[in-house]
Amino acid sequence: MTDERPFAGKRVLVTGGARGIGAATVRRFLEAGATVAIGARRADSVEALQRALGDQARVVAAPGGLSDQASCAAVVEAAVTDLGGLDILVNAAGVFEEVPFEAVSQAHWDTTIDVNAAGTFFTLQAALPYLEATGGNAVNLGSDAGLIGFPPSSAYSAAKAAVVNLTRALALELAGRIRVNCVCPGNVATDMIDAAAETSGDREAYLAAARSRAPIGRMARPEEVADAILYLASPRAGFTHGAILSVDGGGVCGF
């Protein structure tokens, strides 16, 4: 982008904004001139990022879980109240845990679907009137696991596949009202991957396998995914609608 601050004056809500891809996205939007509401389940994690950013004037907090329709609406309302409106929604909140199919409990299924799929659905539903009022747009965070099988994570794969097809369905239903797109990362070097590696029983082997899933031989940096999100949210993507953009080093191309 030729403009060094292409999002100046724009108001952005990033759910899952206190860590990983979400935090990188918050930083990128701030660098580009936006005012950003950080959505996260824990208020203390939002406050910690606010302190680290050191730019309180253009960062507000919208803490709260995304477990049901009411909580999603509350997060959106908190953001809009402080921002004074909404131009861009980034649905980056998510949970991930590797659980073999036979071991999936009702609780694991419910949490995985509620946060990753229902949270995306109902947050966008609550944000729609505000985005429509400003001619705004939404970017959902899918996953390569929503495009190809990813064992042993059947619940997560199902949830992210729902996000992918939700994006396509809303691209048709909301056409002419707002733009809706989706970024599907592969493995990204975040604390989420670190946590999975720690519980795998062989951290180094797990991380090596994570790197090898991408033909280019490494994991993505959170900032690389954030850059794709900002592109889709920008005016340069004005004719991009219903897109499913893979940022995975070629991992979904095949084996």
For residue 166, count other CB atoms closer than 10 A to its CB: 19
Q: Which of 130, 156, 206, 231 does the annotation list as catalytic?
A: 156
d(C-alpha 27, C-alpha 223), whole Å: 9
| Residues 139 and 90 sit within 8 Å (Cβ to Cβ) | yes
For residue 87, count other CB atoms closer than 10 A to its CB: 21
| Residues 67 and 81 sit within 8 Å (Cβ to Cβ) | no
What letters, b where the CB count within 10 A reaches 16 and e where it falls short, cover 9-38?
A: ebbbbbbbbbbbbbbbbbbbbbebebbbbb
Residues in CB range of 76: below 8 A, 6 or more apart? 13, 62, 86, 123, 126, 127, 130
Note if 130 is an active site residue: no
Residues labelled catalytic: 156
